Structure 1
Amino acid sequence: MRLHQSWRNYAAQVLLELDIPLVTDWVRSWLVDLHTDFFVEHSERDAEARRPLFEALFDATIDVYREALREGYPEAQAREITHIQGSWTFIQQGWGELVEFPPEEADAYYERYEDFFDRHGCSPENPLGEFAPPSGLPDTPETPGRLNGDYPFAVPNLTDGVYVVDEKTEVRLACGVDAEDIDFSADD
């Protein structure tokens, strides 16, 4: 999966791992708002109706991220795990305009982190597993017809590694694919 990396990712990681009262809460809130606003903006329809689900999803994935770091996953892999869970959720909702990989690759991403996902009850059918809010994710309008093969944020065929793009668009590859063969033009 392609992930964009900036100084904000490093700062958020450090502050979340330090678990400083008030500071960690502020960082958590900032991250939830940042991701929620991004996906509301990029929703083709029902954007504001989706906001409660985005907020609950991204709040839960911060717990996932912190747990993955505690278990020893590198930052990029911990973040990839949360992006996978987000895409699984979007696939369930039929929000094809928001997925980061084509739906047919959902199982391949599961297999990349199968040990983590199994340990925590997560799967393409149950994206958050034990990290889900007690009452589940809020109900929102689904658009199953939107899973039509047009996925503007999806980058196919990257299930074999984590591709990190920094602010200068220099590419650090975690596996042996040439950077010239990958389109990094879309932001996430």
Structure 2
Amino acid sequence: MKLRQNARHFASRTALQTPVVRSVATAGLVRLHTRVFLDKADPAHADEREAHLDDLFEATIDTYLRALKDGYSEAEAREITHIQAAFDFYNHGWTEMMEFPTDELDAHYDRYREFFERWDITIDEPLGQFAPAAGLTEAPSTPEKLDDPVHPHAEGGFADDVYVETESGETVVGGRDEPADIDVSQAVGVRDGAETDAPENENENESGGDGEN
């Protein structure tokens, strides 16, 4: 799939790996992701999905950190979590929130099959061993949307690798080079107001083809 990647992503990664700021970074990233995906949701159903998305994105942060420990790059680890979210959205029939089309689900799974199988992640069980013990907050499904899925925020054709759009707008395969100096204070949730006041074009932990990535 296609992601954005810039210095702030590396700052957020480092914040999540730093105990003293991990909790605020986690809270900020969860709020940011929930807000962005609620904006993609059918307005008639957005409010009823909020608690579910909060739980989902908090769990995927654990996946992200595990993927980094297992040797995946920042872009790959983040892509894994976005694929998990796409599986969850598909299972609920929330096709308007998906970042790649339903016909690319298997291709995305296959690229990370080794990781997914190790941690019991499947399309039907997107969180695998990273699922919280109490489960996710329930939210109503819209299975009828699977009959003729509409993907206004999806960008297909990037299922064969992780593609990264840099600050300059260039699309590269595999991700950009890590910055020489990483400023943790620029991480989502750590920088004052970042988790609640970031404008749309700063929703930079997101991926997809709609300009919000």
Instruction: Compute the TM-score of the two structures, normalised by the length of structure 2.
Output: 0.79
- Counterpart in the other structure of 1:24: 22
Q: Which ranges of 4 or more aligned residues in structure 1 deviate by more than 3 Å?
A: 183-186
- Counterpart in the other structure of 1:96: 95
Deviation digits for residues 12-48 of structure 1 (CA, Å, limit 9, x no counterpart): 011112x223x11000000000001111122113111
- How far has the Cα of 1:173 moved from its partner? 2.3
SS of equivalent to 1:137:
coil
Deviation digits for residues 30-67 of structure 1 (CA, Å, limit 9, x no counterpart): 00000011111221131111001100000000000000
- Counterpart in the other structure of 1:178: none
The reply on whether 1:155 has 2:140 as its aligned counterpart is: no
- Which runs of no fewer than 5 residues in structure 2 stay unpaired? 176-207
SS of equivalent to 1:92:
helix
Kindly indicate whether the alpha-carbon contact (under 8 Å) linking 2:40 and 2:153 is maintained by their aligned counterparts in 1.
Answer: no
- How far has the Cα of 1:153 moved from its partner? 1.7
Q: Count residues with an aligned counterpart.
A: 179
Instruction: Compute the TM-score of the two structures, normalised by the length of structure 1.
Output: 0.89
- Note closer, same or farther for the CA distance 1:185–1:132 as it changes in structure 2 (3 Å cut): closer
Deviation digits for residues 136-183 of structure 1 (CA, Å, limit 9, x no counterpart): 1111111112232320121222111111012331221249xxxxxxx9
The reply on whether 1:38 has 2:63 as its aligned counterpart is: no
Kindly indicate whether the alpha-carbon contact (under 8 Å) linking 1:4 and 1:187 is maintained by their aligned counterparts in 2.
Answer: no
- Counterpart in the other structure of 1:141: 140
For 1:93 and 1:65, the matched residues in 2 are separated by 22
2:211 counterpart letter in structure 1: A
SS of equivalent to 2:41:
coil
- Which runs of no fewer than 5 residues in structure 1 stay unpaired? 176-182
For 2:151 and 2:210, the matched residues in 1 are separated by 14
Matching of residues 1-188 of structure 1 within 5 Å: 1-17=1-17, 19-21=18-20, 23-44=21-42, 45-147=44-146, 148-174=148-174, 184=209, 186-188=211-213
